[in-house]
Structure 1
């Protein structure tokens, strides 16, 4: 991803908000409050959104839409919520103008909104000089969404619970090919389904650490995928397209994006894109060892 650039006093552009995929996602239980307990590896990708931020002295948080993206953003998206939450938590009198350049599709399971929020928190904490440490930022992040603390932590990780238990891990370098059908999946509907597996046996991190890379990528499954494919049959279609290229496909998160691992040098040898519907997203990328803004904390 592009490196951040300073283009004026208190004005930075190209603040990266990378996507993630789940190499597996197991539902191991459900709490009395209805929240589901998960285990998963979250892996950062060198594909994502970008945020531009200009610090202002008047305390107002403004988001300026970028018409060229063709995407309509809600008035109070997670980026705006993150900025306001940091402002309230620290009492700073500074404000900001935000430009959000969206590249990640919505309802994909790629963590786009959560990543945007995390980048906003980390960047504004530095630019406002509010001085919060990583744990303090995570305490704010968890109130914005279960995946936001992962992006604040900034490392590939073994994630447990409802997303609050994050253990950094090292994963092998890999290339990833993502296909996103036009249709999305309702995450609430998915988790409410009576057909959802909720009792997959929990594993120890040591089980994963001892696996070679090919076994690591094939480990487990996505417990959400069967239900998601019922709600969005195009997920199965996308998997079959990747499988037709000799790749092993799996859904990420709650969908509807699916992905396949392959050797980096093989990415240019595949020609699937022309066979995809015009309104589907196809993107080839690689994983990241760490978040581009990790050094900002």
Structure 2
């Protein structure tokens, strides 16, 4: 091991655009998306132990499983099996991001576990190897391993790095109405219409020209998303939209002061909502 303790962050994932092209026979959907990541997220720490265990705390930790159904423990088990590891690890998750909210909380935590235990167990696997393990855990987990601006195709697991000069460091505001929304239910409510491909080119421009094809379905299931999107209007954002399958929505700003002003105004008007501001990294 590299030490007695270590820590990682499960960075909040944002789908700047999400085009759903078709339903596949295997139950997944072919999508085209642009992934970006905020500079905040869930915290994951580890210390030496005889067995692999998980404890969960934090604002959104209540009720989450701490057994083999949790993606963090599934990631730990997959990494240990793939690399022949017999060591233990006491994992502690600080759940700061809303659950079932379209910003990759579980996927980001699983990816953080892969990165963290790769170091802690002194495995030395590269990102390609970690992504291969991540692909067995969920469609968004491979993108969360690198947590950088990428285009995702297929079910989201076919990744291509994007030059992000027009995005890096841009201020971001995330807003969630405090209502969980199951990804499967949103995809099931999608109308099945292929509205065309996601543009190539610089990611911000491509996203601005794009859309989130799940937004209408999500709003039909959770009308509060429409309220969130309306609340984000009028603050001068360069882009605002729902992320993933919802219910979290985002807005991008050129100036941190504009993001903070929007954050303060929305938090005051809707004190029960989760509101967080930071930067894209």
TM-score, normalised to structure 1, is 0.85
CA contact (8 A) 1:55 1:128 kept: no
CA contact (8 A) 1:26 1:223 kept: yes
CA contact (8 A) 2:61 2:94 kept: no
TM-superposed deviation, 1:190 = 1.4
1:32-111 paired onto structure 2 within 5 Å: 32-56=25-49, 58=50, 60-66=51-57, 71-76=62-67, 77-111=70-104
Q: Which runs of 4+ in 1 moved over 6 A?
A: none
Pick from 245, 259, 268 the counterpart of residue 254 of structure 1. Answer: 245
**Structure 2 counterpart of 1:148:** 141
Alpha-carbon distance between aligned partners in 1 of 2:61 and 2:72, rounded to the nearest angstrom = 18
**Structure 2 counterpart of 1:224:** 214
CA contact (8 A) 1:30 1:198 kept: no
TM-superposed deviation, 1:102 = 1.0
Stretches of structure 2 that go unaligned for 5 or more consecutive residues are none
Give the length in aligned residue pairs: 273
Alpha-carbon distance between aligned partners in 2 of 1:185 and 1:64, rounded to the nearest angstrom = 24
Alpha-carbon distance between aligned partners in 2 of 1:164 and 1:259, rounded to the nearest angstrom = 22
Alpha-carbon distance between aligned partners in 2 of 1:67 and 1:43, rounded to the nearest angstrom = 24
Stretches of structure 1 that go unaligned for 5 or more consecutive residues are 1-7, 289-297
Pick from 122, 125, 137 the counterpart of residue 130 of structure 2. Answer: 137
TM-superposed deviation, 1:72 = 3.1
Q: Deviations over 1:188-214 (max 9, x none)?
A: 111122x5244132346xx323x7x5x
CA contact (8 A) 1:197 1:223 kept: no
CA contact (8 A) 1:64 1:98 kept: yes
TM-score, normalised to structure 2, is 0.89
Alpha-carbon distance between aligned partners in 1 of 2:87 and 2:11, rounded to the nearest angstrom = 26
**Structure 2 counterpart of 1:264:** 255
CA contact (8 A) 2:242 2:248 kept: yes
Over 3 Å counting, the alpha-carbon distance change for 1:87 and 1:285 in structure 2 is: same
CA contact (8 A) 1:190 1:196 kept: no
Over aligned residues, Cα RMSD in angstroms? 2.2
**Structure 2 counterpart of 1:158:** 151
CA contact (8 A) 1:114 1:151 kept: yes
Alpha-carbon distance between aligned partners in 1 of 2:20 and 2:245, rounded to the nearest angstrom = 12
Say yes or no: does 1:196 pair with 2:188: no
**Structure 2 counterpart of 1:3:** none
**Structure 2 counterpart of 1:19:** 12
